[in-house]
């Protein structure tokens, strides 16, 4: 379907979708979850062939996808109304209600083809808000995107969901389409910025909720349990071939021995192929640049897992940038020197023992200023889909640090509050 037709259908469907009650939206999202679950084997086989991700990873991701559709559907059915009695002029009540913003453009991500793809959290949260969705499939997984699109289109009312395909020109056309009222995006900083610029240049600028680059620093304090911490971090760095938005990209430790042990552990992990040839080439290029300037501990295979070992004083430039793939920068030195050097990130993690509380207390303000989620004695991968989750962060992690793309609060990106002052009770929505 072309962009013009898809957006026109979404605009036509918007009033009816906005008028649906919460229980009807709940039923709609549960129907999507049921349809995806019923087609699970076909979805897994298709995604397995296109992505190179493991079957276990994809099955877990499908469970997360159906689970978040049901969670957001249940959330949509809950009452959402704030009332302040008798405060308006003449003693009337002020009642605040949510209003869907209208058709939403969603850009499927490549690294989570199900949970952040065509059927992912942006699509689910927009539908839960009462907004039609036009999704642009990711070109790296055309068959997976098409299959998910067919399943959702059958489960949803006419016009509530459409799928478009194409390159950057289609992306920009979709954002510029007058009927689109908001954008959800997960991808690169370059891609997100291009969409933001296009949205801002419209005669009527619209918000772009973009999740982009994230370093996800990990600070390892002296009291951390060494074997367990090394194992957890090596797994988090190399899992899914290092292609997670929450992959630890920087580990800081005061111990050279810990740095060596972690570097060897990362290099020893076998990894599967990367999502695209372009991503694999970028990973190889980063390894070559790093090896030319720093100490690199590398394994074997394709892609090659590797660690770049440096001193904290060297942290600058590419050492503080996100790199997709099974690699990590390990910096040896004082942790307190690091937070002020960091840009915004989705997460920041601290590994520590009971004797490290004072040091952690000193570090915490700097981390709070630069991350959307702080993790204590745990890896940042494996984002929980729940009411309290904040999957966002300051620029360049996201374009809107106050928003989240995971959890029930993700719905709020796609509806706006309207205060109704003094309206008779029988006119309230």
Q: Which residues contact 292 (CB under 8 A, 6 or more apart)?
A: none
* Angular region, 309: left φ>0, alpha ψ -120 to 50, beta rest: beta
Residue 245 annotated as catalytic: yes
Asked if 203 and 342 count as a contact pair (C-beta separation under 8 A), the reply is no
b vs e for 62-79, b when ≥16 Cβ sit within 10 Å of the residue's Cβ? bebbbebbbbbbbbbbee
Give CA–CA dist 122/104, Å, rounded: 9
Give the phi and the psi of residue 234 in degrees, each rounded to 5.
Answer: -60, -40
Active site residue 409: no
Which of the 8 DSSP states describes residue 137?
Answer: P
User: CA 100 to CA 126: how far, in whole Å?
Assistant: 9
Q: How many residues does the chain have?
A: 429
What tokens does 235 get? 């797994």
Maximal CA-CA distance, the chain:
76
Residue 344 CA to residue 321 CA, distance in Å, equals: 11
- Positive or negative, the Cα torsion across 429, 33, 409, 171? negative
Angle between helices 3-19 and 168-176 (to 10 degrees): 40
CB 206 within 8 A of CB 183: yes
Given the residues 245, 261, 322, 409, the one annotated as active site = 245
User: Using CA atoms, how far apart are residues 322 and 342, in angstroms rounded to an integer?
Assistant: 11
- Among 50, 61, 211, 322, the active-site one is 211
**Radius of gyration of the chain from its Cα atoms, rounded to whole angstroms:** 23
Cα–Cα distance, 257 to 427 (Å, whole number): 69
Identify the residue whose tokens are 């009540």. 93
Cis ω on the peptide bond leading into residue 258 (within 30° of 0)? no
Residues annotated as part of the active site: 211, 245
């Amino acid at each position: 379907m072309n962009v013009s037709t898809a957006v026109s259908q979404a605009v036509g469907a918007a009033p009816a979708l906005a008028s649906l009650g919460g229980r009807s939206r709940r039923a709609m999202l549960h129907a999507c979850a049921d349809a995806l679950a019923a087609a699970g084997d076909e979805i897994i086989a298709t995604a397995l062939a296109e992505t190179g991700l493991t079957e276990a990873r994809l099955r877990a991701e499908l469970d997360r996808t159906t689970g978040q559709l049901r969670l957001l559907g249940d959330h949509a059915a809950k009452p959402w109304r704030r009332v302040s009695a008798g405060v308006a002029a003449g003693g009337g009540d002020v009642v605040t209600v949510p209003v869907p913003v209208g058709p939403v453009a969603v850009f499927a991500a490549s690294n989570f083809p199900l949970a952040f793809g065509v059927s992912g959290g942006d699509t689910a949260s927009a539908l839960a808000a009462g907004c039609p969705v036009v999704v642009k499939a990711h070109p790296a997984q055309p068959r997976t995107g098409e299959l998910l699109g067919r399943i959702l289109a059958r489960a949803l009312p006419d016009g509530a969901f459409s799928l478009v395909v194409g390159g950057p020109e289609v992306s920009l056309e979709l954002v510029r389409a007058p009927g689109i009222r908001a954008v959800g995006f997960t991808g690169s900083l370059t891609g997100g910025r291009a969409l933001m610029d296009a949205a801002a240049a419209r005669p009527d600028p619209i918000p772009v909720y973009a999740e982009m680059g994230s370093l996800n620093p990990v600070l390892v304090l002296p009291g951390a349990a060494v074997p367990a911490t090394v194992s957890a971090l090596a797994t988090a760095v190399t899992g899914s071939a290092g292609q997670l938005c929450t992959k630890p990209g920087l580990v800081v430790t005061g111990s050279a021995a810990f740095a060596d042990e972690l570097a060897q552990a990362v290099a020893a992990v076998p990894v599967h192929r990367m999502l695209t040839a372009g991503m694999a080439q970028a990973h190889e290029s980063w390894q070559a640049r790093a090896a030319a300037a720093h100490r690199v501990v590398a394994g074997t295979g394709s892609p090659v897992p590797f660690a770049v070992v440096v001193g904290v004083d060297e942290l600058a430039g590419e050492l503080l940038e996100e790199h997709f793939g099974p690699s990590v920068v390990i910096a040896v030195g004082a942790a307190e020197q690091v937070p002020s050097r960091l840009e915004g990130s989705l997460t920041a993690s601290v590994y520590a023992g009971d004797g490290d509380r004072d040091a952690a207390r000193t570090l915490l303000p700097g981390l709070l200023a630069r991350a959307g989620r702080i993790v204590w004695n745990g890896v940042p991968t494996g984002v929980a889909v729940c009411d309290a989750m904040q999957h966002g962060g300051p620029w360049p992690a996201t374009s809107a640090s106050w928003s989240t793309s995971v959890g029930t609060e993700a719905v709020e990106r796609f509806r706006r509050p309207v205060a109704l002052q003094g309206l008779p009770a029988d006119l309230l929505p």
